[in-house]
Amino acid sequence: MSLLLEIVTPEKLAYRDQVDEVVVPGIDGQLGILPHHAPLLTVLGVGELRIRKGPEDEYFAIVGGFLQVRPDKVVVMAETADMASEIDLERAQQARRDAEAALSSAYVEPADMANARAALERALLRIRVAERRHHEGPRHRA
Amino acid sequence: MASQRDIRRRIGAVRNIKQITRAMQFVAASKLKRAQDATLAARPYSDKIDEVIADLAQVLSGEDHPLFRKPADGKRLIVFITTDRGLAGPLNTNAIRFALREIVEHSENGGELSLVTVGRKGRDAMRRARLPVEAHFSGFGDRPTFADVTALARLVTDDFLAGTYNRVDIIYTRFVSTLVQRPTMDRLLPMEPHEDTVGIPGNQFIFEPGPSAVLQQLLPRYIATRIYQAVLENTASEWSSKMIAMKNATESAEDLIDDLTLSYNKVRQANITREMIEIASGANAR
């Protein structure tokens, strides 16, 4: 038994495949969706989305997302969704340094402050998701 | 009559212009392709968000939610999208004329109005017309990203929820086909869910943390998506209009080169004839 998962962002259809389980970053913690879940519409937090498909796991970094569980499929709408294997670690680390520099400068406008915080959060998330791939690689199950 | 050398110099100049406009035509054609691809790629998300909004509207229609309600008073806001650069044929002129007509009609009905512009051309035109431009956004470039429009979407949503505006419209140039681009006005707020995107019938979703909380999170993204779509349409229109304009310019340059070549030949012929006469009469005089 599998479920159809779609991940859409304003810029593209990021993922579409039959999967066994998807674990999403809910606002109150991780939320696992298995086939035959009740219809649900919920807000997602900034975090890591894990797809379990056969013996392999796939990771996405999700920002600004919503989850819709329908009888026929599960749809994740997100402002950005980056697959772990496609994250540019160098760039994420650069973004992190930039955001940290912006936050530690002498005077920051409140609006810039919020932007820099959000940028830092995104960069840290990308780094975390990308590093998971580097250290662990795809996990294999018995 | 211009001298042979002058005409030859002009032919050279026109030929250079032709080379440039031809290059611009091809650049525009490839950018148009990219803009169209981006518009298509953005569709799944926007369809999805329309559908979810429709689902929410069904649940929330009983309540008097500020997003669906039409406040009696307040100003009207127009988000006006044009291009940053010119040389795009009649695209911006048409859009500006369309917007000004809308603004004049509205003020005749005695309504107050504010403007937010995207793209330098629109801002400049509104300044010349002495209309107050509340905010301006530019530099989205050839490849607008969703992140570019989120600040604008937030501004619009916050001001609407605060009651500053009772209606928000967006004016942009819709890409109908490569030959036709039409200035268009769409309503952004208050929301009116499309008839054709009703949610799944008889499907009761569980909303976490609750319908209005979800809507609150969804709204800025919905508005951003609508604006993003408009910006993408406008970009596609810009490049196709530019492509046509440059194609016309290239053809005009070719016509001009033909005309100039003809007069060059005439002048050359006249000169040869004159020299022949001079030689002949010189020989006769001897």
The per-residue pLDDT of chain B, averaged, comes to 86
pLDDT the model gives residue B87: 83
| Mean pLDDT along residues A81-104 | 84
For residue A13, the distance in angstroms to the closest alpha carbon of chain B comes to 7
Yes or no, beta carbons of B205 and A77 under 8 Å apart = no
- The per-residue pLDDT for range B194-249, each reduced to its tens digit, is 554 445 555 577 887 887 788 888 888 889 999 999 999 999 999 999 999 999 99
Chain B residues at the A interface, defined by Cβ less than 8 Å, are: 38, 41-42, 44-46, 48-49, 52, 55-56, 145-147, 150, 200, 203-209, 213-214, 217-218, 221, 224-225, 228
Q: Which two tokens stand for residue A14?
A: 């990021």
Cβ-based neighbours of B138, under 8 Å, separated by 6 or more: B84, B118, B119, B120, B123
Residues of chain B in contact with residue A26, where contact means CB-CB under 8 angstroms, are 208
Cα separations in angstroms, A57 against A24, A83, A130, B81, B260: 13, 11, 13, 43, 70
Cα separations in angstroms, B187 against B147, B194, B208: 22, 11, 28
Are B274 and B209 found together in one domain?
Answer: no
pLDDT-derived band of residue A99, with 50, 70 and 90 as boundaries? confident
Residues of chain A in contact with residue B223, where contact means CB-CB under 8 angstroms, are none
Cβ-based neighbours of A26, under 8 Å, separated by 6 or more: A42, A44, A45, A67, B208
Chain A residue with minimal CA distance to B146?
Answer: A10
Residue B213, SS3? helix
Q: Are strands B181-189 and B165-175 parallel, antiparallel or unpaired?
A: antiparallel
Structural domain of B215 = 26-244
Query: If you count residue pairs, one on A and one on B, with CB atoms under 8 Å apart, how many are there?
Result: 76
For residue A63, the distance in angstroms to the closest alpha carbon of chain B comes to 12
* pLDDT greater than 90 at residue B148: no
Are B140 and B55 found together in one domain?
Answer: yes
pLDDT the model gives residue B267: 93
pLDDT-derived band of residue B1, with 50, 70 and 90 as boundaries? low
Residue of higher predicted confidence among A130 and B127? B127
CB atoms within 10 A of CB B158: 11
CB atoms within 10 A of CB B55: 25
- Pairwise CA distance, residues A122 & A117, whole Å: 9
pLDDT the model gives residue A141: 44
Q: What is the 3-state secondary structure (H, E, C) of B83-146?
A: CCCCCCCCHHHHHHHHHHHHHHHHHHCCCCEEEEEECHHHHHHHHHCCCCEEEEECCCCCCCCH
Yes or no, beta carbons of A8 and B44 under 8 Å apart = yes
pLDDT-derived band of residue A142, with 50, 70 and 90 as boundaries? very low
Residue B226, SS3? helix
Are B194 and B53 found together in one domain?
Answer: yes
pLDDT the model gives residue B154: 86
pLDDT the model gives residue B230: 92
pLDDT-derived band of residue B265, with 50, 70 and 90 as boundaries? very high
Are B232 and B167 found together in one domain?
Answer: yes
Taking the Cβ of residue A10 and every Cβ of chain B, the question of whether any pair is shorter than 8 Å is answered with yes
Chain A residue with minimal CA distance to B46?
Answer: A10
Q: Which two tokens stand for residue B260?
A: 């100039």
pLDDT the model gives residue A77: 92
Q: Read off the CATH number of the domain in which B14 is found.
A: 1.10.287.80
Q: Which of A9, A8, A6 is nearest to A22 (CA)?
A: A6
For residue B227, the distance in angstroms to the closest alpha carbon of chain A comes to 11
Q: Read off the CATH number of the domain in which B86 is found.
A: 3.40.1380.10
Residues of chain A in contact with residue B150, where contact means CB-CB under 8 angstroms, are 79
Q: Which of A37, A42, A77, A66 is nearest to B209 (CA)?
A: A42
| Mean pLDDT along residues B5-29 | 94
- Pairwise CA distance, residues A1 & A34, whole Å: 9
Residue B213 burial class via C-beta count within 10 angstroms: exposed 0-12, middle 13-18, buried 19 and up: middle
Are B269 and B211 found together in one domain?
Answer: no
Which region holds residue A62: left if phi is over 0, alpha if psi is between -120 and 50, else beta?
beta
Q: Which two tokens stand for residue B283?
A: 């020989």
- The per-residue pLDDT for range B20-54, each reduced to its tens digit, is 999 999 999 999 999 999 988 888 898 888 888 87
Q: Which of A28, A46, A77 is the best residue to mutate to test the B interface, defined by the most B CB atoms within 10 Å of its own CB?
A: A77
Are B278 and B204 found together in one domain?
Answer: no
Yes or no, beta carbons of B146 and A11 under 8 Å apart = yes
Are B240 and B256 found together in one domain?
Answer: no
| Mean pLDDT along residues B156-165 | 85
pLDDT the model gives residue B193: 56
| Mean pLDDT along residues B92-120 | 87
| Mean pLDDT along residues A61-75 | 88
Are B81 and B109 found together in one domain?
Answer: yes
Residues of chain B in contact with residue A81, where contact means CB-CB under 8 angstroms, are none
pLDDT-derived band of residue B141, with 50, 70 and 90 as boundaries? confident
- Pairwise CA distance, residues B236 & B215, whole Å: 31
Chain A residue with minimal CA distance to B228?
Answer: A10
CB atoms within 10 A of CB B204: 11
- Pairwise CA distance, residues B126 & A123, whole Å: 39
Please say whether the beta carbons of B123 and B135 come within 8 A. no
The whole-model pTM stands at 0.81
In sequence order, what are the beta bridge partners of A56? A53
Taking the Cβ of residue A41 and every Cβ of chain B, the question of whether any pair is shorter than 8 Å is answered with yes
Are B80 and B133 found together in one domain?
Answer: yes
pLDDT the model gives residue A107: 73
* Domains of chain A from N-terminus onward: 3-85 (2.60.15.10), 86-136 (1.20.5)
Yes or no, beta carbons of A64 and B213 under 8 Å apart = no
Residue A3, SS3? strand
Please say whether the beta carbons of B29 and B172 come within 8 A. no
Yes or no, beta carbons of B48 and A27 under 8 Å apart = no
Residue of higher predicted confidence among B23 and A122? B23
DSSP string, A81-131: EEEGGG--HHHHHHHHHHHHHHHHSS---HHHHHHHHHHHHHHHHHHHHHH
Structurally, chain B folds into a number of domains equal to 2
- Pairwise CA distance, residues A74 & A33, whole Å: 9
| Mean pLDDT along residues A2-21 | 91
Are B143 and B270 found together in one domain?
Answer: no
Taking the Cβ of residue A109 and every Cβ of chain B, the question of whether any pair is shorter than 8 Å is answered with no
For residue A126, the distance in angstroms to the closest alpha carbon of chain B comes to 17
Are B127 and B144 found together in one domain?
Answer: yes
Are B12 and B120 found together in one domain?
Answer: no
Residue of higher predicted confidence among A120 and B63? A120
Please say whether the beta carbons of B99 and B62 come within 8 A. no
